[in-house]
Amino acid sequence: MRIIKRKSYYYLQHSFRKEGKVVTREKYLGKIIPKNIEEIRYAFLEECKKADLYKILEKIKKVFSKEWKSYPRSIKEKVKEDIAIAFTYNTNAIEGSAITLEETAELIKHKMAPNKPVSDIEETQAHMKVFLDMLEKKEPLSIPLILRWHKEVFSRTKGDIAGRFRTYLVRVCRYIPPDWQDVKKLMNELIKFYRSSKNKIHPIELAARIHHRFESIHPFGDGNGRIGRLIMNHILWWQGYPMLIVEYKKRSFYYRALQKGEEAFFRYFIRRYLAAHKGLLKRS
């Protein structure tokens, strides 16, 4: 509380130590203490935490951008290919593909197909192409783009559903996604949220929230995880941030976070993102 000219003014303050110095942030409450002071206090502390978090994320972006610009073109192409191989292997493995990381690399780099199901081979090749195209072409995130990605990945293996939103009910373990009659409306709302938020919400947070909402809608009969992770990395890449690969060996944490709701998934996403890119932070 501060008293100015015999009038009381109330503030919330949050102090913390940073680099040996005490930093204080405050929020003005008004001339009286609001009844929902605990809610305001919680929200204020969350804002403070996010502000510090986003400074860390900006350091990651800055180092990534500097290092990426320093690469010769031929090295950039090799790095893109290596990322695409790792991403394609993990995202397909999460969905049940039998192709290993080494086999994915052999298939992509040397056109050597492993002795595995033809459908797995074709989806690996198609996904790799879509992912590399996504890195090269800056296209606005839209329903036509999402449908095109799905069609290109699955047209040779699941032609009856490729590039089409589902027209039937589905179940994902114990989770029942929205009725198929609501899918188009929900997807329109998702794209509207993305467009209205991309200049308001931090890109890392936006990528997490869009991914969770997309998976909750579950708009396709199959392939939702792979397309959802493409969308997530499209947002990160075209906002200048390094991408995030959800690792197959850590998929159980990913699934549990998706099941716990959007806020829990956001927290999981941030933890994984910071862990994945801690090397960039060390070089900042």
The crossing angle, in degrees rounded to 10, of helices 183-197 and 143-154 is 120
161 neighbors 220 (Cβ within 8 angstroms): yes
275/254 Cα distance (integer angstroms) = 14
Quick one: pLDDT at residue 48?
54
218 counts as catalytic = yes
For residues 246-267, average pLDDT: 95
In degrees, rounded to 5, the angle at the alpha carbon of residue 252 between the alpha carbons of residues 210 and 256 is 55
Minimum mean pLDDT among 16-30, 86-100, 187-201, 252-266: which range? 16-30
pLDDT of residue 8: 74
State pLDDT tens for residues 35-49.
777 776 656 556 656
Q: In the predicted model, what is the mean pLDDT of the chain?
A: 90
β-pairing verdict for 2-4 and 21-30: unpaired
* Residue among 127, 150, 211, 218 flagged as catalytic: 218
- pLDDT tens for 204-233 read 999 999 999 999 999 999 999 999 999 999
> Is pLDDT above 90 for 98?
yes
Look at residue 221 in the predicted model and tell me its pLDDT.
Answer: 96
- The 10s digit of each residue's pLDDT in 70-80 is 999 999 999 99
Is residue 11's pLDDT more than 80? no
Sheet holding 2-4, edge to edge: 2-4, 7-18, 21-30
Query: At residue 22, does pLDDT exceed 70?
Result: no
- At 53, the pLDDT band (50, 70, 90 cuts) reads confident
